[in-house]
Amino acid sequence: MLRIFLALLLLLGLQRTDASHWSYPDRDLDEVFPSWGGICDTGTLQSPIDLSITKSLKGVFDELKLDNFEDKQSGVTVVNNGHSIQLANFNNEMEVEGGPLRDEYVVEQVHLHWWSEHTINNVRYPLEAHIVSRNKRYANVTMASNFKDGLTVIAVLYHVSNERNEAIDQIVDYLDDVKDFDKINEPVRMKNPFVVRQLFPKLNGYMTYSGSLTTPSCAEAVTWIVLSETFPVTLEQVDNFKQIQNEEKITLKNNYRDLQKANNRPVIVVLPLDKSVSDAASPLQLSMGTLFFMLIAAKLL
């Protein structure tokens, strides 16, 4: 009997150290957030964090460009990976460039967190979409995750509304097919074309910072771009995601990671460009430009 008990203990111990077996706490039971090990526990640039405009630094970058996001993608797959619902297999390559990014990034997958991982001014949202893109310098996501500039994730937060979100409904349509634990990692192909751009609103500014993946390996390889404008979703829509089962047949009520320490990391806020002001250089911009030139000249002398 004791031997069986010890064997069971050993088995449980082994499961805990296996990187593929990680989970979220049941927040109804006030479970402590589990330790995921490695850099998840020891890193200093972990995500998510609370974002606040008053604590952010103002930034002005080149325009953030989303290429081919309006394309109708056919044959997009929906999968329950045991931790989230993920869309992949985009046959028209989508790219992200500009903004804080120095390179071109290609979209690899889109997945959802219910409730949001990032908070804005300590307020949590009911849903957050992550559009994960890989720096084209690196051959795949695993390689890219070894580099600080390896990945960029565009995060879209959704606010509670009475208005159903059409793009989210297109995903909800497939949840019954993938929600059960025995369907984990079995992708289902969408019958209708899916337009990724419909998942989020106008690009009305964003907040950007250097962080990590919010799931193991927690690689500190992510340039986060969290859109300032949020998009509507109904609580009924979000409830559909709470039926998803994980490997232990437990329903995934929530799949958001606890907030991580900011560690004095700069969060840069990029406000929407006011065309009427930017087209005709304002006196302030001119004087700032002149000042900058004088500073450079002073350095050179």
Binding site for Zn ion (CB under 5 A): 130
Select 130 or 179, whichever has its Cβ closest to Zn ion: 130
Measured from the Cβ of residue 60, the count of other Cβ atoms closer than 10 Å reads: 10
Cβ neighbours for 154, distance < 8 A, ≥ 6 positions apart: 66, 96, 130, 131, 133, 200, 225, 226, 227
Task: State in angstroms the smallest separation of the CB of 112 from Zn ion.
Answer: 8
Task: State in angstroms the smallest separation of the CB of 132 from Zn ion.
Answer: 7
Which residue's Cβ has the minimum distance to Zn ion?
130
> 120 is written with which tokens?
């804005």
Task: State in angstroms the smallest separation of the CB of 110 from Zn ion.
Answer: 9
Measured from the Cβ of residue 292, the count of other Cβ atoms closer than 10 Å reads: 10
Task: State in angstroms the smallest separation of the CB of 130 from Zn ion.
Answer: 4
Select 118 or 130, whichever has its Cβ closest to Zn ion: 130
What does each C-alpha distance from 209 to 46, 81, 146, 261, 263 come to in angstroms?
Answer: 11, 27, 18, 13, 12
Torsion on CA atoms 198, 200, 202, 206, rounded to nearest 10:
-150
Task: State in angstroms the smallest separation of the CB of 82 from Zn ion.
Answer: 14
Measured CA to CA, the distance from residue 168 to residue 153 in angstroms comes to 18
